[in-house]
Chain A
Amino acid sequence: MLGEGILKGMAETARNFFGSYFSADRMTTVEYPEQRIAPFEAARVFPFLVYDAKNPGDAADWEAGLRCVACQICEKECPPKCIYIEKSTGKKPDALGKPQFYPARFDIDISVCMSCQICVEVCPFEAIKMDTEFELSTDDRFGGLLLDRKQLAKSNEYYHQIHLTEANGVDARLAAEKAKAEAKTKAAAGAAAAKATSIAAAAAGEGA
């Protein structure tokens, strides 16, 4: 019948109007900043640097536990070139015990960063990941939006909080690598020990 569409439309809007007082389906407004919705697991805003704390909850050794070895791959791959890294002069031992360089300076300019996640994808050391923190407004347009090493360093526990599945995957990968490295050293130690005993046996055999 002519005019039916208009009446159906009016019924729908009326349902919207009255339903908005009762069902959350018909009132999807979230009154920010009083109400907030939790960010999704795959949300991403700007990068941050992961560090492994030796004692959980001890934020003081962020510098010691920083995974970043200043390989500068992310700096080269970043499309808008918002990362600035200065390599350190000395080395410190990393998670596997091997002495590595570390970044003396690691700046990200978040007014330039476009959240493309390329730095995360290319990092071989699982050192840089995407954060979900977006309330970064400041009234200092230049310095306030340049995050330095200390501001970027966040613990692995924090990483677990924001991206649980991803963090578990990273931890599994790192643990596997560590196990492989340990197995290799054990095998090497075993071979060295075997070699040492064989040399000792040969020397003892010669002496007798």
Chain B
Amino acid sequence: MIQNLDQILVLLQHWLASFLPAAWQGAARAFISAAAIVCVFPALFAVAVWLERKGLGRMQNRLGPNRVGPYGLLQPIADGIKSLTKEDIVPLSADRAVHFLAPVLLVVAAFMGFAVLPMGRNMVLVDLDAGLLFYYAMGASSELAVFMAGWSSRNKYSLLGAMRAVAQMISYEVVLLLSSVVVVMMAGSLSLTKIVESQNQYTWGFPHWYIFTPWGLAGFIMYAIAATAETNRSPFDLPEGESELVAGYHTEYSGFKFALFFLGEYVAMFSISGLGTTLFLGGWSAPFSFLTWIPSWIWFFSKLMLSIFVFIWMRGTLPRLRQDQLMNFAWKFVLPMCLLNLMVAAVWRFMDNYWLRWVVCSAILLLAYEGLGMAELRKKNIGPRSYRYVE
């Protein structure tokens, strides 16, 4: 019974495909999974938009939208209707073909990432051997879409925003990849299903999630930083900061194309959170061995929504980073920590004493963190403010 509940979506998929002749069933199953992804994640997008507006409001001592439905639940629908019915303005000198294709490419690249995420036991769309590499390949395609959007608008502010966004995304792509390479190293495979399965073991009730190891925690923090920067979320949202560049690379987009950019950003957030939970938080595995009766896909989606809440929380807390601060942070602080993390993971793997390796690895990471941090801060001479008055 529990197993049926766990596999209920897989069984549903097989049942729907069974109506077709046997030769088409494989393709039908794939199509049904893809259709499910395309339906579920935009619905989650609506929920996330509502959650963001209400959550940010509460963090800022105000109510969010509360007029459209009970507690503003129908606000995303109102927003959707608004963006669908707005006039689609394309600047006169804009490059029409590229202007049209940019949001399309962004949304396609964002959705492609879901194909390799294991959302539950036996619930992957495609179980690729090089699944993680596929995910990052799709993420790289979205950078090109951002550039296309900024360039085709023939607006120097859009172009500036696009170039900043691309520079930021490329720098943090390196960090993203390196922080996930640690997991690949320890799991021994690029396949995401194998990574989840290697975390799905329990010792004394506690799971073997990688976040519960020193290198895993460091890797997760760096992955989270890189994920926030990749999806242009606060505090790395300079490319789309309203006070800086109007709206950055999507200034010249109105109506449905803007909604597509918005959708693409949130879907990218979902997929990168999904990858983060798969790599570090155990994917669909339950946190304690006595909780495995709860279906696996519920665990996956709850961890996903928790990550989204942390994204929203960070947005409500931190001010925006300036472009040069952002880049300095990536190349001078996070990247060396990532490389050190690789070494620490290797030490962890080859050290025999179980408890000593905790101490050694944590000590190395903490010392490096403090050391690098102090080195960076000392250069800046940050102290209490001093004032100079006109005589």
What 1/0 flags go to B288-320 for Cβ under 8 Å of A?
Answer: 000000000000000000000000011011100
Is A16 in contact with B60, judged by CB distance below 8 angstroms? yes
A-B contact count (CB 8 A): 46
Is A27 in contact with B313, judged by CB distance below 8 angstroms? no
**CB of B385 within 8 Å of the partner chain:** no
Is A16 in contact with B58, judged by CB distance below 8 angstroms? yes
Contacts of A16 in B (CB 8 A): 58-61
How many Å lie between the Cα of A28 and that of B57 in the bound state?
11
Contacts of B314 in A (CB 8 A): 10
Is A20 in contact with B58, judged by CB distance below 8 angstroms? yes
Given A2-B370, A2-B374: A14 touches B61 (CB 8 Å cut-off): no
Given A13-B313, A31-B63: A2 touches B58 (CB 8 Å cut-off): no
Contacts of A31 in B (CB 8 A): 63, 66
How many Å lie between the Cα of A28 and that of B374 in the bound state?
39
How many Å lie between the Cα of A9 and that of B317 in the bound state?
6
Interface members, chain A 9-60 (any B CB < 8 Å): 9-10, 12-14, 16-17, 20-21, 26-29, 31
What is the chain A residue whose CB lies nearest that of B366? A1
Given A2-B369, A14-B313: A9 touches B62 (CB 8 Å cut-off): no
Contacts of B317 in A (CB 8 A): 6, 9-10, 12-13
What 1/0 flags go to B25-63 for Cβ under 8 Å of A?
Answer: 000000000000000000000000000000100111111
**CB of B373 within 8 Å of the partner chain:** yes
Contacts of B55 in A (CB 8 A): 17
Contacts of A29 in B (CB 8 A): 61-63
Is B370 in contact with A26, judged by CB distance below 8 angstroms? no
How many Å lie between the Cα of A98 and that of B61 in the bound state?
58
Contacts of B66 in A (CB 8 A): 31
Contacts of B370 in A (CB 8 A): 1-2
Contacts of A13 in B (CB 8 A): 59, 313, 316-317
Interface footprint category on B: 10 to 19
Separation in Å of the B188 CB from the closest CB of chain A? 31
Interface footprint category on A: 10 to 19
Interface of B is mostly: helix
Separation in Å of the A117 CB from the closest CB of chain B? 32
Which of B63, B316, B318, B369 has a CB less than 8 Å from the CB of A27?
B63
Contacts of B374 in A (CB 8 A): 2
Contacts of A28 in B (CB 8 A): 61-62
How many Å lie between the Cα of A29 and that of B369 in the bound state?
41
Point out which of B66, B317, B374 has the most chain A C-beta atoms below 10 A from its C-beta. B317
Separation in Å of the A13 CB from the closest CB of chain B? 5
What is the chain A residue whose CB lies nearest that of B373? A2
Which of B316, B318, B377 has a CB less than 8 Å from the CB of A6?
B318
Separation in Å of the A98 CB from the closest CB of chain B? 56
What 1/0 flags go to B53-95 for Cβ under 8 Å of A?
Answer: 0010011111100100000000000000000000000000000
What is the chain A residue whose CB lies nearest that of B370? A2
Contacts of B369 in A (CB 8 A): 2
Contacts of B59 in A (CB 8 A): 13-14, 16-17, 20
Contacts of A14 in B (CB 8 A): 59, 313
How many Å lie between the Cα of A75 and that of B94 in the bound state?
56
How many Å lie between the Cα of A12 and that of B55 in the bound state?
14
Separation in Å of the A16 CB from the closest CB of chain B? 5
How many Å lie between the Cα of A10 and that of B318 in the bound state?
8
Separation in Å of the A30 CB from the closest CB of chain B? 10
Separation in Å of the A189 CB from the closest CB of chain B? 67
Point out which of A3, A6, A10, A12 has the most chain B C-beta atoms below 10 A from its C-beta. A10
Separation in Å of the A7 CB from the closest CB of chain B? 10
Is A20 in contact with B61, judged by CB distance below 8 angstroms? yes
Separation in Å of the A202 CB from the closest CB of chain B? 82
What is the chain B residue whose CB lies nearest that of A2? B373
Contacts of B61 in A (CB 8 A): 16, 20, 26-29
What is the chain B residue whose CB lies nearest that of A27? B61
How many Å lie between the Cα of A10 and that of B312 in the bound state?
11
Interface members, chain B 353-391 (any A CB < 8 Å): 369-370, 373-374, 377
What is the chain A residue whose CB lies nearest that of B374? A2
Contacts of A9 in B (CB 8 A): 317-318
How many Å lie between the Cα of A9 and that of B63 in the bound state?
20
Contacts of B316 in A (CB 8 A): 13, 17
How many Å lie between the Cα of A21 and that of B316 in the bound state?
17
Interface members, chain B 299-346 (any A CB < 8 Å): 313-314, 316-318
Contacts of A6 in B (CB 8 A): 317-318
Contacts of A10 in B (CB 8 A): 313-314, 317
- 4 closest cross-chain pairs (CB), A and B: A2-B373, A9-B317, A13-B59, A20-B58
**Contacts A2-B373, A20-B58 given; 17 further ones with Cβ under 8 A?**
A2-B370, A2-B377, A6-B317, A13-B313, A13-B316, A14-B313, A16-B58, A17-B59, A17-B316, A20-B59, A20-B61, A21-B58, A27-B58, A27-B61, A29-B62, A31-B63, A31-B66
Residues of B near any A CB (own CB < 8 A): 55, 58-63, 66, 313-314, 316-318, 369-370, 373-374, 377
The 6 sampled A-B contact pairs (Cβ below 8 Å) are A6-B318, A9-B318, A16-B58, A16-B61, A17-B59, A20-B58
